Structure 1
């Protein structure tokens, strides 16, 4: 494999890989947040002391979330290869990585958001019920409003966790910074390139965390 100087590595390799990583990450976080939010709302509404209890829906969803969460990410990624190929038309590359990443992260997002929804004071919910508010009104205008700061912190956490998972996926065919660290760094015995990629990931995490903390302070 051709050995590149650090400047050539940055211009020819890093920036394209950075773009791939960010596209995968942003798409995954958006999809995982949407799916996780839907599952969290169902868990919150249908739990035993929820505003509309439904034991079957809660137990079924709770079981599915626990099953998916029990899979290590790389094992889940490999086990979903046939499904990914059927849905996305390919099992490698940028597009193919989004599906297993979303499947892997959605249950974690659901659990975290549900915990913030469950922490909403019961007195607020009972007050809304006493005024005749419908379950959907309580969900959207009481529980969701009170849980917004927590949801923001979950999204920030999801970006950080998703960056790690996206990098790991890159090492097994998804492309991006993980693929570059493996191909140009580890496999080519070039520690400088490998550690430079790690530095980029560290900086990205710090930026994401800073933005997340700033937004959290604004909405709290």
Structure 2
């Protein structure tokens, strides 16, 4: 941005306001869809990991071992390589490999396994005595899971969803490289290929603001749900 005045930078951003709004909407679609998907299915997987572990409700060592290794494998999978590897599956499921909806599928898969581990850790923090008390009163396993485990861990779960959403927001910028659109794609096309550094700075500022809003909202809800 050498030689570019502040007013010129503002003028450039002003001319691009339509594209910026569109990119912002595409980012919201990607992050919203993938966070919802990863939260639902990641919770299911995380609960399975927890209840099949040693000394838990449905201890099953083979199942737990398979799930544990699967989660470790997928969490270690580089996101960029996962995007490329999932192109055939994305085309088959969504019907396209470009656009925010197609990118959200890859983001969902990546976030699902990450969130599953966070759920497992949250459930481990539930006092053992609370679980045993519910079982001793005749509560069915599903009741223990729904009304004891998930209820007691809800504040931590909200914090985990916050971490997940922020992580997916970061990944959504990389998803722009495969035609996912969004703020990351805009930064690459204008900031990198056209050397418009002011565009990158502005988009980074938007992303920082989004992170602050998401984190603040997550902290607020978590404090409200925390019974300690």
- Bin of the TM-score, shorter chain as denominator length: over 0.9
Which residue of structure 1 lines up, in the alignment, with residue 202 of structure 2? 196
1:127 to 119, 122, 133: 133
* Alignment match, 1:178: 184
Matches within 5 A, 1:94-113: 94-113=100-119
Equivalent pairs, count: 217
TM-score by length of 2: 0.92
2:28 to 22, 30, 34: 22
Post-superposition Cα deviations, 1:52-72, rounded to whole Å, max 9, x if no partner, equal: 112222112112111111111
* 1:139 CA drift (Å): 1.0
Q: Give the corresponding residue for 1:211.
A: 217
Does structure 1 residue 70 correspond to structure 2 residue 89? no
The corresponding residue for 1:8 is 15
Range with bigger deviation, 129-138 or 145-154: 129-138
CA contact (8 A) 2:29 2:101 kept: no
User: Aligned to 1:38, which of 31, 36, 44?
Assistant: 44
SS at match of 1:174: coil
Aligned residue runs from structure 1 range 135-146, under 5 A: 135-146=141-152
| 1:212 counterpart SS class | helix
C-alpha deviation, 1:33, in angstroms: 0.3
2:63 is the counterpart of 1:57: yes
Q: What value does the CA root-mean-square deviation take over the aligned residues?
A: 1.3
Corresponding position: 1:159 with 2:168? no
Are the aligned partners of 2:23 and 2:182 in contact in 1 as well (CA < 8 Å)? yes
1:16: how far off?
0.6
Distance 1:183 1:80 in 2: 23
User: For 1:61-109, what per-residue CA distance to the aligned partner results, in whole angstroms no more than 9, with x for missing partners?
Assistant: 1121111111111111111111111111111221210111111110110
Deviation at 1:173?
1.2
